[in-house]
């Protein structure tokens, strides 16, 4: 597992992110930096769709892509559009602890029951769908996944700064994932 660096002051922000939109995001979220006005986005944040999390950021500061587990596979056109048309040069990938996309198989019974009760599916259809789709969305360890997703995206976008971050549900803090 990668090492995490907590943010207690602006000096805790990794040098590569200081004085960048990633550093500003960390200051806004964890250090309560006062908001300023933005006329265009400075950053793209890949974040989980989990309802338990809320970002502290100023209006117009960022594009936000919310997907299960902050898994951006299959979203490359959206990312490319933000880079090509929105002039984005920085991406923050934010995973979190206790993510539902980690160990998805443990939720199979609830998923099937929910699709039968809520969506009107048959049990067979729900079970088959779950079994077919789970491998695409299972992320395993949250921190490892975000680290690997950052590496994958860096290969696609070598000129873009991509920072892997970890959100803690218990105190709403964000830590930086230290990479070797």
Decide: helix, strand or coil at residue 53.
coil
**pTM of the prediction?**
0.92
pLDDT tier, 2 (very low <50, low <70, confident <90, very high otherwise):
low
- Mean pLDDT computed over 107-133: 97
- Mean pLDDT computed over 22-42: 97
Give dist(CA 77, CA 29) in Å, integer.
Answer: 27
Edge-to-edge strand list for the sheet holding 90-96: 3-5, 173-178, 161-168, 90-96, 43-47, 62-66
Q: Is the pLDDT of residue 81 over 80?
A: yes
Closest CA to 96 of 155, 136, 53: 53
Look over the chain and give the mean of its residue pLDDT values, rounded to a whole number.
94
Q: Tell me the C-alpha to C-alpha distance, in Å, between residue 111 and each of 29, 65, 140, 166.
A: 33, 24, 18, 26
Q: Which uninterrupted H or E stretch holds 170?
A: none
CB 157 within 8 A of CB 90: no
Residue 93 has φ and ψ, to the nearest 5°, of: -100, 120
Q: Is the pLDDT of residue 1 over 80?
A: no
Instruction: Tell me the domains of the chain and their CATH numbers.
Output: 3-101+140-178 (3.40.1050.10), 103-138 (no CATH)
What tokens does 143 get? Answer: 């921190």
Name the packing angle between helices 108-119 and 123-137 (round to 10°).
130
């Amino acid at each position: 597992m990668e090492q995490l660096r907590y943010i207690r002051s602006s000096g805790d922000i990794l040098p590569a992110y200081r004085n960048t939109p990633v550093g500003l995001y960390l200051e806004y979220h964890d250090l309560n930096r006062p908001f300023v006005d933005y006329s265009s986005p400075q950053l793209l944040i890949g974040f989980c769709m989990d309802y338990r999390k809320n970002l502290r950021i100023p209006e117009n500061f960022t594009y936000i892509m919310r997907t299960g587990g902050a898994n951006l596979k299959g979203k490359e056109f959206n990312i490319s559009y933000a880079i090509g048309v929105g002039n984005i040069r920085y991406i923050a990938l934010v995973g979190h602890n206790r993510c539902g996309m980690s160990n998805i198989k443990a939720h199979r019974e609830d998923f099937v029951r929910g699709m039968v009760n809520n969506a009107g599916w048959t049990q067979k259809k729900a079970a088959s769908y779950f079994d077919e789709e789970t491998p695409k969305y299972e992320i395993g360890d949250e921190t490892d996944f975000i680290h690997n997703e950052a590496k994958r995206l860096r290969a696609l976008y070598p000129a873009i700064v991509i920072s892997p971050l970890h959100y803690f549900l218990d105190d709403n803090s964000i830590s930086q994932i230290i990479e070797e």
